Amino acid sequence: MAEIANIIKKIATEGQKISTYPAKVVRVNTEPNMPHNDQGEQDAYSVDIMRADGAEIPHVRLKASVQDKERGIVCVPKVGSWVLVSIIETTETRAFISQYSEIDQIFLRIEKDDTYFELRTDGDATKLSYKRQESAGDATTNTPATYKDIAKLNFGADKVLKAKFWDDAGDNVTQETTIAHDQVKIDFDQGEGYQAVMDSQKVLFKETPEEGGLNFELTDKYKVEAGNKNLKTELDALIDEISKIVVVQGTSPNVGALMTIKNNINSILKEE
């Protein structure tokens, strides 16, 4: 509190003013090598602006600390948009964006213990992710910390919601769910376990990879396969063989009844 009082007193006695002025964003400065970047994304922590008198001020801050780049909340203004720029301690080359007219992107990062939460949103998609610290990094050698994924949730303007979960080591995807307006798909173990697909035309459960696996499909009929064997095909073959039986003494199989059963099976099961 004493420090704040001294600052106020200094401003009052020396006639100093903290100035805020409008300016246009001419450039967004990005950081391509931040440890949390993925899918080619780049993080922005400062912008270059142009005042109304034509003077250009570089590296105006988008967050409080330019050193602690991997935490906090950042609003990235649109290039060409107008912003309000506030000067830090009367030094015009040290400034921050205090208000925005248009925002291109927002990302929020919170770190607790070794877990890292991120929320990133723009006009096309919203992405939420949890990461776990793999290595702490080393400030003396300028080595950044590294992180591995725990879970991700993406939702975009394409009306597709995607959720991914990783194993404890962060090396393999244990489950991936895709929800679209016309289909729901769930994959386990990166295509090496089981898959479920549901849409307006069918319900499908199958083992992946598909070759030699289990396969259950429901459309207007059922399709059941195990390995390379189809249940309908095998039942048809069984009925055909029973129909060939001729009994010398006693009663031979009722071929007409067997054909009726075969037709009934054909109305329930399918091959393809």
Classify burial at 47, counting beta carbons within 10 Å of its beta carbon; exposed 0-12, middle 13-18, buried 19 or more: buried
pLDDT of amino acid 141: 81
How many angstroms separate the Cα of 127 from the Cα of each of 124, 170, 266?
A: 10, 18, 47
Residue entry with tokens 């992946």? 208
User: What mean pLDDT is predicted for residues 50-60?
Assistant: 91
Q: Minimal CA–CA distance to 75: which of 56, 109, 103?
A: 103
Q: Cβ of 214: how many Cβ atoms within 10 Å?
A: 14
What pLDDT shows up at residue 5? 60
State the chain's mean pLDDT as an integer.
Answer: 85
Q: Is the bond leading into 22 cis (omega within 30 degrees of zero)?
A: no
Which residues, in sequence order, are CB contacts of 265 under 8 Å at separation 6+?
232, 235, 236, 239
Stretch 205-233: mean pLDDT, rounded? 85
Q: In the predicted model, what is the mean pLDDT of residues 112-140? A: 87
pLDDT higher than threshold 70 for residue 1 = no
pTM of the model: 0.72
In this predicted structure, the answer to whether residue 7 has a pLDDT above a threshold of 70 is no
Average pLDDT value for residue range 52-74: 85
Q: Distance between CA 262 and CA 266 in Å, rounded?
A: 6
Question: What pLDDT score does 11 carry?
Answer: 53
Structure tokens at 201: 């035309």
Residue 12 predicted with pLDDT over 80: no
- Per residue, the 3-state secondary structure of 78-105, as one string, reads CCCCEEEEEEECCEEEEEEEEEECCEEE
Q: Smallest Cα–Cα separation from 238: which of 272, 207, 212, 269?
A: 269
Strand 56-61 to strand 43-51: parallel, antiparallel, or no bridges (unpaired)?
antiparallel
Contacts with 145 (C-beta within 8 Å, 6 or more apart), sequence order: 35, 70, 133, 134, 135, 136, 137
For residue 13, the tally of other CB atoms under 10 A from its CB is 8
| Between 137 and 226, the higher pLDDT residue | 226
Q: What integer is the mean pLDDT of 49-62?
A: 92
Find out whether 153 and 162 touch, Cβ atoms under 8 Å: yes
Taking only the tens place, the pLDDT of each residue in 98-122 is 999 999 999 998 988 888 899 999 8
The whole-number pLDDT of residue 15 equals 53
- 58 three-state secondary structure: strand
**Quick one: tokens of 36?**
């949390």
At residue 117, the pLDDT reads 92
pLDDT digits (tens, 9 = 90+) for 14-52: 555 658 999 999 999 988 777 776 666 778 889 999 998
C-beta separation of 162 from 178 below 8 A: yes
Average pLDDT over residues 6-14: 58
